[in-house]
Amino acid sequence: MPTVHNLPQPFKIAEVIEESYRVKTFVLEGSFEAEPGQFVMLWLPGVDEKPFSLVNSNPVTLTVARVGPFTSELHRRKPGDTLWLRGPFGNGFTLEGEHLLLIGGGYGVAPLLFLARKAREGGRRVSVVIGASTARDVILAEDFLALGCHVIIATEDGSRGFRGKAPEVAEELLRDINPDALYACGPGGMLEAVRMMAGRRGLPVQLSYESYIRCAIGVCGSCQRSGWLVCRDGPVRRA
Ligand SMILES: Cc1cc2nc3c(=O)[nH]c(=O)nc-3n(C[C@H](O)[C@H](O)[C@H](O)COP(=O)(O)OP(=O)(O)OC[C@H]3O[C@@H](n4cnc5c(N)ncnc54)[C@H](O)[C@@H]3O)c2cc1C
Tell whether ligand 1 has an atom less than 6 A from the beta carbon of residue 52.
yes
Domain 5-89 has CATH 2.40.30.10: yes
pLDDT of residue 237 exceeding 90, the answer is: yes
- The crossing angle, in degrees rounded to 10, of helices 188-201 and 166-177 is 30
pLDDT digits (tens, 9 = 90+) for 24-37: 999 999 999 999 99
Sorted by sequence, the CB contacts under 8 Å of residue 103 that are 6+ apart come out as 128, 129, 131, 166, 167, 170, 182, 183, 184, 186, 190, 194
Q: What is the mean pLDDT of residues 182-199?
A: 95
Residue 2 has pLDDT above 80, yes or no: no
Full 3-state SS string of 28-82: ECCCCCCCCCCEEEEEECCCEEEEEECCEECCEEEEEECCCHHHHHHHCCCCCCE
The finding on whether 70 has its CB within 6 A of some atom of ligand 1 is yes
Domain boundaries, the chain: 5-89, 99-208
Lowest mean pLDDT among 56-60, 71-75, 120-124, 173-177: 173-177
Q: Is 69 in the pocket of ligand 1 (CB under 6 A)?
A: yes
- How many Å lie between the centroid of ligand 1 and the Cα of residue 124? 31
Q: Taking the mean position of all CA atoms in its chain, how far away is CA 156? A: 20
- Whether the pTM exceeds 0.85: the reply is yes
Residue 1 has pLDDT above 70, yes or no: no
- Any atom of ligand 1 within 6 Å of the Cβ of 210: yes
In 122-187, which ranges are continuous DSSP H helix?
A: 141-146, 166-177
Q: 203: which DSSP letter?
A: -
> Does domain 99-208 match CATH 3.40.50.80?
yes
- Residues 110-128 have a mean pLDDT of 97
Rounded-to-integer distance, Cα 208 and Cα 228, Å: 13
Return mean pLDDT, the chain: 95
Same fold across 5-89 and 99-208: no
| CA nearest ligand 1 atom 34, residue | 67
